[in-house]
Amino acid sequence: MLQPIRGTRDLLPEDMRRHRAVVERAQEMAERYGFLEMATPIFEDTTVFKRTLGDTSDIVTKEMYTFSMKDGEEITLRPENTAGVVRAVLSNGLRQDLPLKYFYAGPMFRHERPQKGRYRQFHQIGVELIGVPEPLADVEVIATGQAILDALGLQGRTTLEINTLGDPESRKAYRAALVEYFSAHLDRLSEDSRDRLGRNPLRILDSKDEGDRRLVEGAPLFGEFLNQESQDFFAQVLAGITALGISYKLNPRLVRGLDYYTHTAFEFTTTELGAQSAVMAGGRYDGLMEMMGGPEIPGIGWAAGIERLSMLVADVAPAPRPIAVIPLGSEAEAKALVLSDRLRRSGLQVDLGYSGNMKKRMKRANKIQARAAVILGEDELAQSAAAVRDLDSGEQQLVSLDKLADHLARFR
């Protein structure tokens, strides 16, 4: 029997209802903060991701789904969406409209080991605020994330962890300190980390290798190399989120390994999903636009996994209960087709029974948890009426077809 590809899954109606509830609630809250929904293609020219994520990242070297087209063009299914959003700003000539505030939701693709809450085709929501260099942008982006988590009923179940990566000058000083530290332990580094040492030593801090992680525990901290400007920027961010009543935990080990990240880095984490603790992660990426061939324009954003959020949210509103239309006989079936269409146009959710005797069709009505049944038989048709049975109370009454839609309105 054919099965879905490993690391993918089908979103059946119950899963899809939870998935959609997360997206719709997030979109609603994001709009309150001025973020408008947009979408980019699910695949891009491979350069979009190689240039931004870096040749040494695990995503580029191990996880991207990349394909060569017949014309020689190389495309990649998007492993994340920030690069695509920035590409869209550049290719659509939107630099004159700054600041830009976008919300997105959609599938991403990474070839990694499937585990709880993590798939090879997964889905994310995210926001990007482009064109604002002031700390207020960081505060607003974090506040938007907190508001969405609260709206999903996750108050008190996530923790904001935050750190600063400083400005490029501070980052340069920290990079030099890391090279010096890890060079002294070169024989204990994994092969991947030795390769990264000369090109991007900050990536070593994200290593999953156990030996690397032990070395990282003794590595210098970013805070020791922050200049005054970077300290002042971070202080304003912390003051802003404190003013909004958002609690946080300083995490000096929280970093972003890519060169275009600056200043604020943050994650909302939980203890309820095992090893996969982060449900939302983001940071400021002031160098990304320039790296993609555009002007020097700042940006900040975050992304959150819909699958992980769906696992955390409480039961969402139940699916609406339909009205079951049950025709008995060929004449009634012809009438039921037109009647069902009329009822749907009046705003009712209608399930039309296709075949079977009365017992079989009522069994179907109960299976789909119908709220009421509209029964059309010879006797009812002779009176231009239908028998309406309340499937909760069992009460049944004859209702004129002309007044049927009004009568059923109470079952919406």
Does 366 show up as a binding residue in the annotation? no
Q: Which residues contact 101 (CB under 8 A, 6 or more apart)?
A: 33, 34, 35, 36, 127, 128, 129, 130
Tell me: is residue 256 an annotated ligand-binding position: yes
Cβ atoms of 235 and 166 within 8 Å: the answer is no
Q: Is there a binding annotation on residue 110? A: yes
The neighbour count for residue 241, using CB atoms within 10 Å, is 22
9 annotated to a ligand binding site: no
128 annotated binding-site participant: yes
First to last CA, the chain: 40
Whether the CB-CB separation of 124 and 228 falls below 8 Å is answered with: no
Binding site feature residues for L-histidine: 80-82, 110, 124, 128, 256, 260-261
Known binding-site residue numbers: 80-82, 110, 124, 128, 256, 260-261
